[in-house]
Amino acid sequence: MENKNDIKKLVEAFDFAAKKHSKQTRKNIDKTPYINHPIGVANIISSEAGITDVDILVSAVLHDTVEDTNTTFEELEINFGKKIRGIVEECSDDKTLEKDVRKQMQIEKAPFSSYEAKVVKLADKLYNLRDLLKGTPVGWSENRVNEYFIWALQVVAGLKGTNSVLETELDTIFRNKGVF
């Protein structure tokens, strides 16, 4: 991170995301606060991948706000600028589409995403897969978990060449799960 303005922008993103996700929980058995997820994704990017680019970290914190809350892309642009809006837009599914279509679009769009969006997507998949290894989400069958791993492998294949640390971690998970 470069200066006080970067720190201010990141803290504002944490505050914004915390407010937007305040009533949400994860689907795990412990129903952990949803905000743990975007914070965890940003932490993976910073701590494991060694990336301190504030736009990537802010985008990681905000990556699910449009998809999972009443946040709009316009609201993100007003509060965080056009670049952050663009990265989050690349990371967001269009919830008006059927789930299978959204999942296929993630696979198809992955190779054409910006570097910043690819980093966020890699860290997001890594966080989610680690969560799945800890326990099956409420309402998920073992088959659904396995399908998620296979789908995530396909998305990650399109993100290769972005960050070797994150890719190595993901490859290890896929190999250990037997989907590689």
159 and 121 Cβ atoms separated by less than 8 Å? yes
55 a catalytic residue: no
What is each CA distance from 174 to 91, 130, 151, 171, in whole angstroms?
22, 11, 11, 5
Model pLDDT, residue 51: 97
Q: Which residues of 3-17 are buried (b: 16+ CB within 10 A; e: fewer)?
A: eeebeebbeebbebb
Exactly one of 6, 12, 48, 68 is catalytic; name it. Answer: 68
Q: Determine the Cα–Cα distance for residues 57 and 24; give it in Å rounded to an integer.
A: 21
73 and 85 Cβ atoms separated by less than 8 Å? yes
Exactly one of 6, 12, 48, 67 is catalytic; name it. Answer: 67
Q: From first to last of the 180 residues of the chain, give the pLDDT tens digit.
A: 568 999 999 999 999 999 999 999 999 999 999 999 999 999 999 999 999 999 999 999 999 999 999 999 999 999 999 999 999 999 999 999 999 999 999 999 999 999 999 999 999 999 999 999 999 999 999 999 999 999 999 999 999 999 999 999 999 999 999 987
20 and 103 Cβ atoms separated by less than 8 Å? no
Model pLDDT, residue 105: 97
Residue in this structure with the two tokens 């699910």, named with its chain if needed: 64
Model pLDDT, residue 2: 60
Q: Determine the Cα–Cα distance for residues 166 and 103; give it in Å rounded to an integer.
A: 21
Among the listed residues 90, 50, 92, 86, the one whose alpha carbon sits nearest the alpha carbon of residue 68: 92
Assign 157 to helix, strand or coil: helix
30 a catalytic residue: no
Rg of the chain in Å (alpha carbons): 16
Distance of CA 141 to the CA centre of its chain: 22
